[in-house]
Structure 1
Amino acid sequence: MRARAGDRVVTHSRTVGGHEKVAEIVEVMGPNGEPPYRVRSRDGHETVVAPGPDSVVEHRADRDR
């Protein structure tokens, strides 16, 4: 998994009917775009995450098309 600041991490719910979590990557802390990432959620909370297999990165360039 590789990302840049401005990309989003989307974590899918592990339960049926649950909501996915979406957070913007504000800092890439690993080498070559790899985790961990400092992310900001929609409510403004910031945390450091190392996304697992239930997460995907949405690249900014893909969303701007």
Structure 2
Amino acid sequence: MRASIGDVIQVHSKTVGVPTQRGEIVEVRGSEGAPPYLVRFSDGHESLMFPGPDCVIEPRHGE
């Protein structure tokens, strides 16, 4: 998995009825776009993430 600052990460829930979480990647700490990623979610909290198979990265707009 590769990402850049400004990309959006979606974390799909494994539980029925729990919505997908979306956050903006604000820092890439791995080499050449590799995890871990510092992600800011819409509610304002930030989390250091090593994305799993339930995550999808969308390139930032315009790319």
* TM-score (normalised: structure 2): 0.91
Pairwise CA RMSD: 1.3
Aligned to 1:33: 33
Corresponding residue pairs, total: 63
Cα distance between partner residues in 1 of 2:21 and 2:35: 17
1:1-65 counterparts in 2 under 5 A? 1-61=1-61, 64=62
What code does the residue aligned with 1:20 have? Answer: T
* Bigger proportion of residues as helix: 1
What code does the residue aligned with 2:8 have? Answer: R
Show structure 1 runs of 4+ deviating over 6 A: none
1:17 to partner: Cα distance: 2.2
1:44 to partner: Cα distance: 1.1
Q: Percent identity?
A: 52
